[in-house]
């Protein structure tokens, strides 16, 4: 629906792009669609392609702008680079009452916005109150404040959040805090694109944006951790991922993420290029239209009636040879999936068990028999005079999606399902999925370290209306059983019990086949080691530079010339707290990384 389709463009297409690319084809230099800036020592150039909805932290649901906002606006509480644990943001400390309903945050004194105005508790109260009182301002993260009863500033540097009921997740994570003195003066804050005269509190501020051309960020000297060593980050728009790789080899850009396996291998050993293979926080899936409905239960869209039957959905999954698909499309750079929480978050990830089925075409046929679909003379099943024919939307510019369609078509035919692959552009796919005008499409998200948000957008209350307005939904999924488990994990303060409830909720989602999760992709990245060094991965051990839950990837980066002068060793930084979420660079302009955040993260 709205959000998951939007994130799709921001994260999936690029993050998963599989392009048959040879080292020879990469040798020729590529040119961007916009003029390249001079290679200033302190200007990092990032290749990107795609779109941006806006840079409004209250409403943006594309992967790239939400990722950019991670380092334009500080949260109360950050996820650290070492292991995703909670760490300081605007708040230097926090505590909770014995009953779990009162959270008190101490705001660090002396911090300033990028326009030199002081950051106070009133900015936090303003941000949260807008989301609580105005549904339009809660479009991106409204589900995170549904349990809030009140937010108040007890003094200039103290924020008290009172909850309706106890909750396990820290209320201070994931929500960008905005400056009240700027946003309260806007005529229409929910409708503001926030792409000019931006005032922030993070490592960088947004200096300029030209749609489909460039995004420029400038270091914020007022950032409380200290200004980053890279003064400027420029995103240059390229029409396809092959051109981005060529530009990296030619030295026209300094960083590329979302590489395909072929592209990564072609870059290995290239002069002055260093690669990084990280365990990402993403999943890739087939989104299924099992019956699009508004929050009031009013049906809309053109989804196939057959997909409303859970036996049909279960049969589709059984008909897919997951291991072969993953190995052929992603080679050695993806792992088996069980749910929408990646295995990079081991505690919350749904473990493999006998409840996670393997490919079994015969079992799939039996389920379709039970559902009343009988084989026709052409091998395609029929019921009440209708053929079992489904549409799969794929992005014409993403070879990965085309390859998936090529594998799925004969597998579906083998169990009696006609699959019609409809290739289009990412904007059209977003529009169609928002309107419920699809049966299946390829999607995926970037998941945050605490599963609260991703679970919340699978609840009935998180469904948008027929125009895509309102909350964010992952699949338009609605299940009373899932909602009950979501509520239990949300309020369970005993972590071991909460983990159990989360696993039960994920299993419920799996059993209902709200989507068919295909794999967890590695994030494949490369950068010019002769230009920049000192990047920080998240997590520190085997993590990623881009698409982080935070702003660590670039914060520690520095020009290679400066590092050499200081006897730096280059490459990736061992420092845990440095680096700005480079997820942004993966999409600076909205680069379809499967999925935007929300066809995301992604959420980024």
Query: What is the tens place of the pLDDT at every residue in 8-44?
Result: 333 333 333 333 333 333 333 334 444 454 568 899 9
Cα–Cα distance measured from residue 431 to residue 433, given in angstroms and rounded to the nearest whole number:
6
Residue from 471, 596, 460 nearest 139 by CA: 471
Cα–Cα distance measured from residue 355 to residue 347, given in angstroms and rounded to the nearest whole number:
18
Q: 278-314: per-residue pLDDT in tens?
A: 999 999 999 999 999 998 899 999 999 999 999 999 9
Q: Using an 8 Å Cβ cutoff, are 372 and 524 in contact?
A: no
Q: Using an 8 Å Cβ cutoff, are 336 and 522 in contact?
A: no
Global pTM value: 0.84
Residues 6+ apart with CB under 8 A from 492: 168, 498, 501
pLDDT at 505 over 60: yes
Q: 109-155: per-residue pLDDT in tens?
A: 999 999 999 999 999 999 999 999 999 999 889 889 999 999 999 99
| DSSP code for 145 | G
Tokens of 307: 């997909």
Element (H, E) at 80: none
Q: Token match 């709205």: residue? A: 2
Q: 51-101: per-residue pLDDT in tens?
A: 788 999 999 978 778 888 998 999 999 999 999 999 999 999 999 998 889
Residues 6+ apart with CB under 8 A from 326: 334, 335, 336, 518, 519
- What is the mean predicted confidence (pLDDT) over 394-402? 88
pLDDT at position 9: 35
Q: 206-246: per-residue pLDDT in tens?
A: 999 998 888 999 999 999 999 999 999 998 888 788 899 99
Residue from 594, 406, 587, 397 nearest 515 by CA: 594
- Confidence band (pLDDT; 50, 70, 90) for 567? low
Specify the pairing of strand 418-424 against strand 334-336. Answer: unpaired
pLDDT at position 430: 87
pLDDT at position 258: 86
Determine which of 306-315, 348-357, 422-431, 520-529 has the lowest per-residue pLDDT on average. Answer: 422-431
- What is the mean predicted confidence (pLDDT) over 251-263? 92
- What is the mean predicted confidence (pLDDT) over 400-416? 96
Residues 6+ apart with CB under 8 A from 48: 64, 215, 235, 236, 237, 238, 244, 585, 586, 587, 588, 589, 590, 591
- What is the mean predicted confidence (pLDDT) over 180-198? 97
pLDDT at position 565: 67
Cα–Cα distance measured from residue 360 to residue 374, given in angstroms and rounded to the nearest whole number:
18
Q: 572-602: per-residue pLDDT in tens?
A: 654 333 333 333 333 333 333 333 333 333 3
The end-to-end CA distance of the chain, in Å, is: 17
Residue from 544, 543, 532 nearest 571 by CA: 532
Element (H, E) at 249: helix 241-250
Cα–Cα distance measured from residue 90 to residue 42, given in angstroms and rounded to the nearest whole number:
27
- Confidence band (pLDDT; 50, 70, 90) for 393? very high
Residue of 408 and 29 predicted with greater confidence: 408
Q: Using an 8 Å Cβ cutoff, are 380 and 416 in contact?
A: yes
pLDDT at position 333: 95
pLDDT at position 600: 36
pLDDT at position 13: 34
Residue from 199, 243, 142 nearest 471 by CA: 142
Cα–Cα distance measured from residue 94 to residue 580, given in angstroms and rounded to the nearest whole number:
24
pLDDT at position 602: 35
Q: 372-390: per-residue pLDDT in tens?
A: 999 999 999 999 999 999 9
Specify the pairing of strand 204-210 against strand 158-163. Answer: unpaired
pLDDT at 328 over 80: yes
Which long-range contacts does 325-332 make (Cβ < 8 Å, 24+ apart)?
325/404, 325/407, 325/408, 325/518, 326/518, 326/519, 328/403, 328/407, 329/18, 329/400, 329/403, 329/404, 329/407, 330/16, 330/18, 330/261, 330/519, 330/521, 330/522, 331/261, 332/261
- Confidence band (pLDDT; 50, 70, 90) for 522? very high
pLDDT at position 566: 62
State percent of the chain over pLDDT 90.
Answer: 73
What is the average pLDDT score of the chain?
Answer: 87
For the beta carbon of residue 432, count every other beta carbon within 10 angstroms. Answer: 19
**Structural domains of the chain sorted by starting position, each given as residue range(s) with its CATH number in brackets:** 43-254+531-560 (3.40.190.10), 282-522 (3.10.105.10)
State percent of the chain over pLDDT 70.
Answer: 86
Biggest CA-to-CA distance, the chain: 76
Q: Token match 């792409």: residue? A: 195
Four-CA torsion 153, 155, 156, 159, nearest 10 degrees = -40
Cα–Cα distance measured from residue 524 to residue 526, given in angstroms and rounded to the nearest whole number:
7
Specify the pairing of strand 232-237 against strand 43-48. Answer: parallel
């Amino acid at each position: 629906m709205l959000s998951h389709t939007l994130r799709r463009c921001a994260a999936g297409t690029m993050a998963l792009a599989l392009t048959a690319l040879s080292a020879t084809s990469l040798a020729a230099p590529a040119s961007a669609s916009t003029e390249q800036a001079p290679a200033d020592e302190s200007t990092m150039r990032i290749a990107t392609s795609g779109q941006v909805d806006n840079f409004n932290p209250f409403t943006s649901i594309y992967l790239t702008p939400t990722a950019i906002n991670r380092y334009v606006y500080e949260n109360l509480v950050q996820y650290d680079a070492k292991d995703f644990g909670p760490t300081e943001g605007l708040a230097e400390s926090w505590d909770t009452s014995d009953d779990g309903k009162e959270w008190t945050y101490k705001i660090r004194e002396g911090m300033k916005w990028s326009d030199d105005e002081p950051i106070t508790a009133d900015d936090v109260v303003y941000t949260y109150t807008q989301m609580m009182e105005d549904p339009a301002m809660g479009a991106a993260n409204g589900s995170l404040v549904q349990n809030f009863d009140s937010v108040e500033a007890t003094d200039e540097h103290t924020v008290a959040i009172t909850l309706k009921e106890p909750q396990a997740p820290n209320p201070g994570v994931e929500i960008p805090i905005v400056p009240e003195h700027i946003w309260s003066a806007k005529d229409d804050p929910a409708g503001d694109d926030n792409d000019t005269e931006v005032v922030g509190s993070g490592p960088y501020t947004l200096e300029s944006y030209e749609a489909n051309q460039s995004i420029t960020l400038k270091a914020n000297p007022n950032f409380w951790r200290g200004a980053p060593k890279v003064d400027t980050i420029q995103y240059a728009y390229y029409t396809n991922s092959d051109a981005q790789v060529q530009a990296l080899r030619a030295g026209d850009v300094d960083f590329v993420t979302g590489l395909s396996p072929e592209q990564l291998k072609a870059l290995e050993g290239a002069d002055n290029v260093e690669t990084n293979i990280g365990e990402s926080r993403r999943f890739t899936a087939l989104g299924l239209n099992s019956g699009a409905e508004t929050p009031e239960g009013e049906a809309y869209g053109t989804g196939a009636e057959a997909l409303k039957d859970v036996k049909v959905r279960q049969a589709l999954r059984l008909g897919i040879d997951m291991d072969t698909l993953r190995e052929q499309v992603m080679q050695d750079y993806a792992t088996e999936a069980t749910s929408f929480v990646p295995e990079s978050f081991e505690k919350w990830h749904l473990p493999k068990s006998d409840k996670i089925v393997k490919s079994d075409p015969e079992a799939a046929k039996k389920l379709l028999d039970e559902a009343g679909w009988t084989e026709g003379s052409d091998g395609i099943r029929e019921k009440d005079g209708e053929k079992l024919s489904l549409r799969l939307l794929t992005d014409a510019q993403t070879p990965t999606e085309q390859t998936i369609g090529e594998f799925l078509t004969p597998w579906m035919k083998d169990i009696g399902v006609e699959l019609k692959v409809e290739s289009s552009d990412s904007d059209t796919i977003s529009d169609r999925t928002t309107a419920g005008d699809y049966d299946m499409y390829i999607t995926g998200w970037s998941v945050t370290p605490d599963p609260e948000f991703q679970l919340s957008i699978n609840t009935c209350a998180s469904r948008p209306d027929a125009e895509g307005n309102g909350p964010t939904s992952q699949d338009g999924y609605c299940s009373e059983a899932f909602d009950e488990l979501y509520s239990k994990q949300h309020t369970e303060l005993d972590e071991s019990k909460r983990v159990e409830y989360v696993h039960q909720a994920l299993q419920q989602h799996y059993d209902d086949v709200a989507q068919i999760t295909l794999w967890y992709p590695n994030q494949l990245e490369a950068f010019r080691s002769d230009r920049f060094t000192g990047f920080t991965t998240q997590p520190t051990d085997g993590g990623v530079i881009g698409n982080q839950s935070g702003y660590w990837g670039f914060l520690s980066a520095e020009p290679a010339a400066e590092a050499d002068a200081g006897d730096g060793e280059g490459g990736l930084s061992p420092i845990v707290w440095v680096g700005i979420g480079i997820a942004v660079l993966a999409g600076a302009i909205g680069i379809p990384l499967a999925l935007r955040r929300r066809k995301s993260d992604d959420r980024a």
